[in-house]
Structure 1
Amino acid sequence: MSPFLNRIKPWVSVICTSYNHAAYVDEALRSVVEQDYPNVELIVIDNASTDQTADRIDRFVQQHPAVQFLRNPTNVGLNRAFNQGLAIASGRYVIDLAADDVLMPGRISKQVEQFERLSGPYAVVFSNAAYIDEHSRQTGLHYPVTTTGQACVRVPSGNVFRNVLASYFICTPTMMMRRDVLNELGGYDETLAYEDFDFWVRSSRLYHYAYLDEVLTLKRRLPNSLSAQVVLPDNQLLHSTLTVCQKAFDRCATPDEHQALAGRVRQFIRKAFYAEQFSLALQFGQLLHAIERPGLLTSLILGLSRLQPPVNGLYRQYLKWSQPRQALSPTMEPV
C-alpha cells in the first residue's frame, strides 16, 4: 500500500496467541482472513502447544502464505508471546486475539471506522461480545441488549480510569488498540500472569476509551480457562493483581479514584482468602489500609487470614452450586 492509501485504510495487525487450542484455532484464524477489511496482517504465535495446535496452524499458513507464524519451543507466557507479535506488527491498530475466540464479520471495518472518526486522545475501541461454549453455542452476552441489539446498561466511554478500577466492564478480546500506545507502554508487562487489568490501568490513566455498541466478538468460555483458575490455591493470578493494584494506587489522583480502588482491593482480599493465599490477603489488606480504614467484614476476613482456616474446598463446592444459578453480568470479575 502506498502511504496515501494506507492513510485511507490503515493497516490492522491481529496478533493471535495459542496454547493447546487445536479444537478452535481454525475457526479463530478463518474469522480473521474472512474479514471484509482489506488491510489486515495476521501474526500467530504458538506457545509450545502439546496438542495438534501448531500443526493446524501450519496447514492454515500453507493456504494463506501471508500469515506470519512464530512457533515457540517453550511456553514463554501469554504476555511475552503477545509482545513477540507486537515487535513485528506494522499496523496502526492492533487486536489481541486468543486462538479460541472468534471475530464477527465486519468487526475490523467497524472498529477502524470508529477510530478514524474519533478526535482526542483515544487509545481503545471496544464493543459488546457474545459468550460461546466449547461447541460454539451461544451462552450469553457480555452486556444484555434490547430487542434492537443495543446494550441495556450504560457502558463507560471517554475517561474510564475510575471505571476500570471499580469493576470489570470491558470484554478483553473486543478491544482494538493503537499500536503506538502499546509501544509507548512497552507492550504487556511480562512479569504478570495476565494482561488486561494492567493494560487498562496504565493506558486509561493517559488515554480515552470508546465503546462501539454492537456484538462484534464471540468470546469462548471453557472450564479450564485462565479466569477459572483464580480459585485454585497455587494460582499466580492474584499475585499479579496485587502488583497491578499497587500500580493503580500510584496513579490515583482523586478521592473517588481511591475509593474505586479500595472497593476492588476488598474484592481481592476475599478472593485471596478463599484461595487460601492468606499472606497475599494480608498484603492486599496493607494496601487497603493505605487508602481507608477497613470495615468490619474486611477486618474479620483479614483476622481469619492470620488463622489460615481450610476454606478453599468448601468455597469451590459453593461455586459449583451457585454458578449455574447466576446470570451473566457486565460487572462479573473474571480475575
Structure 2
Amino acid sequence: MQPLVSVICLCYNHARFLKEALDSVLNQTYQNLEIIVVDDRSTDNSRAIIEDYAARFPQIKYLPNEHNLGNCAAFNRAYRLSKGKYLIDFATDDVLMPNRIEEQVKAFEKLDESYGILFTDAEFIDDFGNHLHNFYKRDKNGNLAENVPDGEVFADVIARHYICSPTMMMRRTVFDKLNGYDETLAYEDFDLWVRSAPDFKYFFLDKVLTKRRIHAAQMSQQQYKPNDKQIFSTITVCKKAQKLLRTENENQALKKRVQHELIQAVFTRNFEATRQLSKLLSELGPVPVKIKALLAVCKWPLPFEQTRQLYYKLRFGL
C-alpha cells in the first residue's frame, strides 16, 4: 500500500499560474494523494478557477479562507485537516514535475524515522515558464558542482539559505512535533528549518523535480526592500536559534547569518532592524571591525540602497 501524501496547495492571487499548477498535481505518476487547495482570500480570479477544478475533480478538497490569514496560518488550517504520512507545501505559482512525488516517496521510504525532510534541486522559470537557471550550480554535463549538506544540518540552515523550500517533502511527525508553522511570522521556511533540524535529519535527493517560478509579486521578491517586515520575522527566528545553540560551530553559523541580515538592514536603511540585529550580534561574541565601521556610517546620507542594487545586478543580474 502506497503511503498517503498530502499536497497542500496555497493560493493567493495566482490566477495566471493556477491551472498549470493544479494540473501538475493532478497529473502526478503517484496515485495515493490527498489534494487540499486553500485560497487565502484572493482578489483576482483564483477562486472561480479553483471552484471549477473542485467541481470537476472530486479528489480536490477546497478550503476558501474568509479572511487573508497569511501563508503560515493558511497552511496550518489544511495541515490540521490532512491525514498524509508525508506533506508537501505547494505554492500554486510553481509547477511539480510529473514524477516528483513518486521519486520523493521512493527515496523517503528507504530512510529511517530520524529523517524528517527531503529536498531536491529545482528549475527556476519566469512568468511565461521559460528556463532561467537551476537552484544549485551544475557543470556542463548536468552534474552537481557544489556541496549540498544533508544529514545533521542545524548549523548549515542557520548560516545560509541553501535549501529550495518548494522542493521539500516533510514527514508528518515533523509538523506534529512543531505544532505546524509559527503563525506569528511573515514566512515559514527559515523557522521550520531552525526548529526541526536539531531533532530531524535532512536528505538531499539529487534530482530536479520542481519548477520554481520567479515573479515580482512573490513575497520572497519583497525581502530586503525598504520597510519590508519580513526581516523582523528573520530576527525572531535568529533569536529562537540562539536558544538552541549547542556548539561553537553553531554559534559561528548564527553569527554569520546575523551579520548577513545586519548588512541587508543597513543597506535598506531599516534602522530598527539594524538596532535589533546589532544587539543580537554583540551577544554572540566580538563584533567584527568591518561591521563596526558599517554601523558607524549607516545613518549618513549615503546611497546605500543604490549601492546594494548595483551589487546585486553585477553579481546576480537582478
TM-score, normalised with respect to structure 2: 0.95
Aligned residue among 221, 224, 238 for 1:228: 221
Whether contact under 8 Å (1:150, 1:214) holds in the other structure is: no
Q: How does 1:148-167 map to 2 (within 5 A)?
A: 148-167=141-160
Cα deviation 1:115-173 (Å, max 9, x = unaligned) = 10012500001000010000110101101223553321111110011110111110000
Aligned residue among 22, 27, 32 for 2:20: 27
Q: Does 1:286 align with 2:279?
A: yes
Alignment CA distance shift 1:214-1:192 (3 Å) = same
Kindly provide the amino acid, as one letter, of the partner of residue 158 in structure 2: L
Deviates more, 1:291-300 or 1:316-325: 316-325
Alignment partner, residue 254 of structure 2: 261
Once the two structures are TM-superposed, the CA of residue 321 in structure 1 deviates from its matched residue by 4.0
Alignment partner, residue 72 of structure 1: 65
Cα deviation 1:58-78 (Å, max 9, x = unaligned) = 111122111011111221111
Q: Secondary structure at 1:22's aligned position in 2?
A: coil
Alignment CA distance shift 1:235-1:160 (3 Å) = same
Aligned length: 318
Cα deviation 1:168-193 (Å, max 9, x = unaligned) = 11000000001121121010000000
Whether contact under 8 Å (1:231, 1:275) holds in the other structure is: yes
Structure 1: 5+ residue stretches without partners: 329-335
Whether contact under 8 Å (2:5, 2:33) holds in the other structure is: yes
- How many Å separate the matches in 2 of 1:111 and 1:322? 37
Q: Does 1:181 align with 2:174?
A: yes
Alignment partner, residue 315 of structure 2: 326
Alignment partner, residue 232 of structure 2: 239
Aligned residue among 263, 267, 270 for 1:277: 270
- How many Å separate the matches in 1 of 2:300 and 2:72? 34
Q: Secondary structure at 1:231's aligned position in 2?
A: coil
Aligned residue among 194, 200, 207 for 1:214: 207
Cα deviation 1:245-266 (Å, max 9, x = unaligned) = 0000111100011001001000
Whether contact under 8 Å (1:132, 1:218) holds in the other structure is: yes
Once the two structures are TM-superposed, the CA of residue 88 in structure 1 deviates from its matched residue by 0.8
RMSD: 1.7
Structure 2: 5+ residue stretches without partners: none
Q: Does 1:127 align with 2:116?
A: no
Identity %: 39
Once the two structures are TM-superposed, the CA of residue 230 in structure 1 deviates from its matched residue by 2.0
TM-score, normalised with respect to structure 1: 0.91
Alignment partner, residue 333 of structure 1: none
